[in-house]
Amino acid sequence: MAKKILQVVESAYRATIEEQDDTVVWLSNMMKGAGMNLDLLLVGGAVNYVIKNQDPSGLAIGDWKQAHPPELAQDLEKLIGKGSTVYLVEDDATVRGLERNDFIAGIKAIPRAGMAKLFDAYDQVWHW
Amino acid sequence: MAGKKTLTFVLMDPPFETPRSTTAIRLIDIAVQRGYDVNVFAYEGAVNLAFSRQTPHANAVHGRDVAEEGHPVPREWVAEIFKQAQRTGSKVDWVQCGLCVDERGAGEWISGPRRGSPADLVKFTETSDNTLVIPTR
């Protein structure tokens, strides 16, 4: 049976402008597509990825204009659509003033105190 | 421009890591748009912002080929700053820390930046109205 991996994303907005996505969410999408059994947990600032209606468009430097700004929530929706579960730490969302009705569909919120129990359900936990 | 100001930016982050590099280039872009003279000291990983071999790629997750993806590469942003300076009359002096370049084998960069040393940063600091350090965290 394939190993079950939990990807923990804490380094938020790392290279999201240049890569036009989050690099770990991207990697997760690729690995899920290649058959890996993985889920994702968003921690710290990364909880903001689940918010609907984010608009990072409009970056321009000189004559250069960004054609495809990152679509972080949509990339999470793709991952959910492939069968992965996307969790977030509810405490981190709450302290940032983020509310559940602002989340995209399918996000599972867990309390910080529940992280250890969640980790225990996986063969490996990768902390990014 | 009467009373033209000169700003120095010290950059440290490499490209494709944190938003700091993007933010730094946006600030430099605005300064050049406004006609300021700008010095840049690219230190440590920041010397790779102008690395000429940065190559855009397609993205299977996004479902776009190379042309459609329009993958940003910071060397283009650096080039835009120099292009824009020609239009606004700003003088841009972008120094690549030579030792930082050597230790990374990053000696190929686009037209515009020049090789230098911390001595250039000393001169920049002494001749600028202000200096902004955007360090690695």
Which token pair is A95? 């302290």
* pLDDT score recorded for residue A14: 87
**B116: part of which helix (H) or strand (E)?**
strand B114-116
Domain count, chain B: 1
- What would the pLDDT profile of B74-131 be if each residue is shown by its tens digit? 999 999 999 999 999 999 999 999 999 999 999 999 999 999 998 999 899 899 999 8
Mutate to test the interface with A, among B25, B33, B62, B64 (most CBs of A within 10 A): B62
| Cross-chain Cβ contact B16/A59 below 8 Å | no
- The rounded distance, in Å, linking the Cα atoms of A23 and A33 is 15
Q: Please determine, for the modelled complex, whether the ipTM score is greater than 0.85.
A: no
Residues of A in contact with B58 (CB under 8 A): none
Residue B1 counted as domain residue: no
- What would the pLDDT profile of A40-61 be if each residue is shown by its tens digit? 999 999 999 999 999 999 999 9
Which domain does B28 fall in, by range? 6-134
Amino acid at the residue B36: Y
Q: Which residues in chain A land under pLDDT 70?
A: 1
> Looking at residue A8, which CATH number applies to its domain?
3.40.1260.10
Task: Tell me how close the Cα of A67 comes to any Cα of chain B, in angstroms.
Answer: 6
The 3-state DSSP class for residue A57 equals coil
Task: Tell me how close the Cα of B30 comes to any Cα of chain A, in angstroms.
Answer: 8
* pLDDT score recorded for residue B107: 97
Pick A119 or B133 by higher pLDDT. Answer: A119
| Cross-chain Cβ contact B17/A14 below 8 Å | yes
Domain count, chain A: 1
- The rounded distance, in Å, linking the Cα atoms of B118 and B73 is 26
Q: Residue B137: which pLDDT band, with cuts at 50, 70 and 90?
A: confident
Which domain does A31 fall in, by range? 4-127
A18 vs B22, B61, B83: nearest CB? B22
Amino acid at the residue B29: D
Which token pair is B29? 């872009």
Beta strands A4-9 and A64-65, pairing class: unpaired
> Looking at residue B87, which CATH number applies to its domain?
3.40.1260.10
**Angle at the Cα of B113 (from B109 to B116), degrees rounded to 5?**
105
- What would the pLDDT profile of B24-80 be if each residue is shown by its tens digit? 999 999 999 999 999 999 999 999 999 999 999 999 999 999 999 999 999 999 999
**DSSP 8-state assignment for residue A67:** S
* pLDDT score recorded for residue B15: 93
Q: Sheet of B92-97: strands edge to edge? A: B114-116, B92-97, B37-42, B6-11, B130-134
Task: Tell me how close the Cα of B3 comes to any Cα of chain A, in angstroms.
Answer: 24
Checking if the pLDDT of B2 tops 70, the result is no
Residue B55 counted as domain residue: yes
State pTM to two decimals: 0.82
* pLDDT score recorded for residue B135: 85
